[in-house]
Structure 1
Amino acid sequence: METFDPHHQSRHIESKIVVALERISEAFKVLLWKKGKEYGLTPLQLQLLLFVRFHPPEKSKVNYLAREFNVAKATISETVRLLGKKELITRMRDPGDSRSYSIHLSETGLELVSKISDFASVIEAPLKDMPQSRKEAFFHELYYLISRLSSDGVISVNRMCVSCKFFERSENGTYCRFLEKVLSPGDHRIDCPEHQPVG
């Protein structure tokens, strides 16, 4: 595959799209490093704090976080240890399993997250200028791509509509039994808080 060969790209739109996505991925890395440096955090520490802030305790456990970020459990454990030393998180033992614990933000951690959660706003800003129809079409294509990457096993954690037990397809489109509503393409979710895996 010659995806990163500019001559190949000039003849294959798929390769141009892959390289465009790689550039956007690079922008995220740069923004994470920049914001992390400002507060003495690594990109993974910053991502973990953001994840814990906006997801429930059952998803804020070492095993789940390792799958979420595609890293070893030992890497997450070390990240949690360092964030604990910085007093940004607390650990709460699972009453049913003394070896398991969920991670929660401390007051200091909550304060910090309110300062760092806008790190990607520079990427969101140009999207706001797009007409609604273009945004919805763009989201629809990204949704399809992420869904395929998930079904191919590239992405290990999936909280999308298509993998949820509440999701239904019909002749009239798609429907969410949890929200009890027909879903337009723009209603589909990438990270749904009510997501329940099929089976």
Structure 2
Amino acid sequence: MSGLDPRSRTTPLAQTLVGLYRLSQGLQHRLRERAQAHGLSPAQAQALLFLKYARPGVRTIGGLAQRLGCAPATASEVADALERKGLIRRQPLPADQRVITLALTPAGAHKVNALEDLLDDLEAALATLPPTQQEALLQATQALVRVLQQAGHVVVYEMCWGCQFFRPNAHPNDPTAPHHCAFVDAPLPEPNTYLECPDFIPRSP
């Protein structure tokens, strides 16, 4: 991809773009490597991680499709493969028997625990940065994710920015908690807006 050739990128901004692209490549390689070591495809590994952390009401084929960014038919194929491996099972949602949910089996829970070291290498590298650089990187990353999400390139799944209770920048004079959650009626720190929330309800289109 010549547009990302470092030789044609000389400004700090352009070189940062190349660095982010290389970082993305590294993370994807790490995911493929860890998934393969456990006899999984990258999509299957992502599905197991999704089923561990998503709230019960969205552990469905539709929820999995949204997380993987694929069609429901493709998500169903991923679930079928995991079910054949004995890592997940389909079961009705207790609150609504018509809704079929996906759940980890004991073997699936064990497998996903073994996958959670995916980001250990990156975390160790980040830990070597001075605290001021870690904070600056956090703020820059959050800003980039927000821009990409608003442009539709990142699905901020079950996070504040797509929730009907989220009030962005409601407290401009409070840098520690500039946003507001109407569900709990309390100020909301910026880092918390990137965590999956069990009280998430998507905004109406």
Aligned to 1:137: 136
Mapping of 1:75-90 within 5 angstroms?
75-90=74-89
Cα distance in structure 2, aligned partners of 1:193 and 1:132: 30
- Opposite residue 78 of structure 1, the aligned amino acid is E
Mapping of 1:25-104 within 5 angstroms?
25-94=24-93, 96=96, 98=98, 100-104=99-103
- Opposite residue 182 of structure 1, the aligned amino acid is P
Would you say the 8 A contact 2:89–2:102 is kept in 1?
yes
Q: Secondary structure at the match of 1:27?
A: helix
Cα distance in structure 2, aligned partners of 1:108 and 1:80: 15
Aligned to 2:172: 171
Q: What are the superposed Cα offsets for residues 10-69 of structure 1, whole Å, 9 maximum, x if unpaired?
A: 03x333222212211111221112212221111111110011011112221111211211
Scaled by the length of structure 2, the TM-score of the pair is 0.83
Deviation for aligned residue 1:97: 6.4
Aligned to 1:160: 159
Q: Percent identity?
A: 28
Would you say the 8 A contact 2:91–2:103 is kept in 1?
yes
Deviation for aligned residue 1:113: 1.3
Aligned to 2:9: 9
Cα distance in structure 2, aligned partners of 1:186 and 1:154: 20
Would you say the 8 A contact 2:181–2:188 is kept in 1?
yes
Aligned to 1:150: 149
Scaled by the length of structure 1, the TM-score of the pair is 0.85
Aligned to 2:203: 198
Would you say the 8 A contact 1:136–1:185 is kept in 2?
no
Would you say the 8 A contact 2:54–2:196 is kept in 1?
no
Q: Secondary structure at the match of 2:164?
A: coil
Q: Secondary structure at the match of 1:24?
A: helix
Aligned length: 197
Cα distance in structure 1, aligned partners of 2:171 and 2:81: 49
Would you say the 8 A contact 1:3–1:15 is kept in 2?
no
Mapping of 1:106-121 within 5 angstroms?
106-121=105-120
1:189 counterpart = 2:190: no
Cα distance in structure 1, aligned partners of 2:184 and 2:198: 12
Cα distance in structure 1, aligned partners of 2:77 and 2:195: 28
Quote the RMSD (CA, aligned, Å). Answer: 2.5
- Opposite residue 195 of structure 1, the aligned amino acid is F
Unaligned runs of 5+ residues in structure 2 are none
Deviation for aligned residue 1:179: 5.2
Unaligned runs of 5+ residues in structure 1 are none
